[in-house]
Amino acid sequence: MKIKELIIVSIAFLALCNPTFGKDDKEEMRFIVDKGLNTAILQSKRMAKSLLEQKDLLPRTIGKQGTFVTSNEKAWTSGFFPGVLWYLYEANGDASLKVYAEDYTKRVEKQQFTTSNHDVGFILYCSYGNGWRLTGNEEYKKVMLQGAQSLSTRFNPTTGCIKSWDRKTWQYPVIIDNMMNLELLLWASKNSEHSKFGSIARSHADVTMKNHFRPDYSCYHVVSYDTITGKPDQKGTYQGYADDSDWSRGQGWALYGYVMMYRETKQKEYLDHAIHVAKFIMSHPQMPDDKVPYWDFDDPDIPNTPRDASAAAVIASALIELSQYTKGRFSKECLSVAETQLKTLSSPEYLAEPGTNCNFILKHSVGNKPKKKEVDVPLTYADYYYVEALLRYKKSILKDKISVETKK
């Protein structure tokens, strides 16, 4: 590590360990945000360099033996690392980050033709979407429009929503994660002559709002539909503790999804729903004081069960945005919780020291605990939403100047 980089990161770590460091809350948060972004840049540059010559690979996690685990472009996680690189280029303006971002974005190009699952939204919007936003590259636009067309083929007018998986366990499974894929469709509706994309996204959000949520605004992970009647025929989980439990990242997907729906449509019912979901999450009796959730709020082994940094990152990013659409005490609470999450995630407990953690940014996330897969490990999507949350805070709350202006 260069001496200058070492000094920056070392000072930032000392700041987190010393509560008197900084003159006020705003300066403390600015220090934390900049420290997190600086660490992310160091880690991500190392990561990008390590796979530069292996053009079919993208980072995913760390295996049980501490080994670096990659994926090909077909994995649902493949678009997150390119997205991290684009965000860091936006924050820093370093030309090498742009070169890396372009390289890793190109690796997922073939996914524009994927019709076998809903993850094309995750894969393309995080990578090509951020690339388009920052460069205005028309080739990126073409890929995204084709991706939206591919995703739209999974919509069934009878159920009114997009099918997530082709699995025999369920007739027509729709998972709460699917809310995140709607951003690609809404973008496509605004950037093409095809209004059907927006109609599909709104239909999916409406049906999900009706059928995925319980009276307290917690949500199921999976709802399967009868394709003849269009009504739910099964509700359960694939990644949570139990069918009726509150899987933490799932609650985060729900919150983020409806905040995004409000941003893109300005329909008040989506904002109202996001507020209800946020209140459920923030007031949950099993939410720790540091605001990094246990992997499932209903795991009976709490507190002796893993936390999930990825859930905290998703929730923090959504709450920062939601605080901008609301007023008064609730808005302040959203921001306060998000700030606590960023402080915790930026502490030595969760933020990796440069050169460690196989060059992932965050530690301690949970992929699928019931299947004993990716438990208490770094995950590429945790890094993505953490960096997104830092950048959102820097732009929206601190009002700091960003190095690269949005082109689109």
pLDDT per residue over 305-337, tens digit each? 999 999 999 999 999 999 999 999 999 999 999
pLDDT in tens, 252-287: 999 999 999 999 999 999 999 999 999 999 999 999
CA dihedral 260, 264, 268, 269 (to 10 degrees): -60
Residue 168's contacts (CB-CB under 8 Å, 6 or more residues apart) are none
**Which residue in 119, 246, 299, 383 is the catalytic one?**
119
The H-assigned helical ranges of 70-195 are 80-92, 95-106, 120-124, 130-135, 138-152, 182-190
Cβ–Cβ under 8 Å, residues 51 and 58: yes
Q: What is the pLDDT of residues 181-213, one digit of tens each?
A: 999 999 999 999 989 999 999 999 999 999 999
> CB of 79 within 8 A of CB of 108?
yes
Helices (H) and strands (E) in the chain, counts: 14, 9
Q: Which of 34, 56, 94, 177 is catalytic?
A: 177
Residue 338 is classified by DSSP as H
In angstroms, the CA 18 to CA 34 distance is: 16
> Which pLDDT band holds residue 21 (cuts at 50, 70, 90)?
very low
Provide φ and ψ at 184, rounded to 5°: -65, -45
CATH 1.50.10.10 fits 1-50+248-408, yes or no: yes
| 119 catalytically annotated | yes
In a 13 Å sphere around the CA of 39, the CA atoms on its Cβ side amount to 32
- By the 10 Å C-beta count (0-12 exposed, 13-18 middle, 19+ buried), 125 is classed as buried
Least confident of 3-12, 257-266, 290-299: 3-12
At residue 233, does pLDDT exceed 80?
yes
- pLDDT number for residue 386: 98
pTM, whole model, 2 decimals? 0.94
**Position 158 confidence tier, pLDDT thresholds 50, 70, 90:** very high
**Closest of 46, 160, 151, 149 to residue 96, by C-alpha:** 46
Residue among 256, 242, 368, 243 at smallest CA distance from 314 = 256
CA 76 to each of CA 198, 242, 286: distance values in angstroms, whole numbers, following the listed order: 22, 23, 29
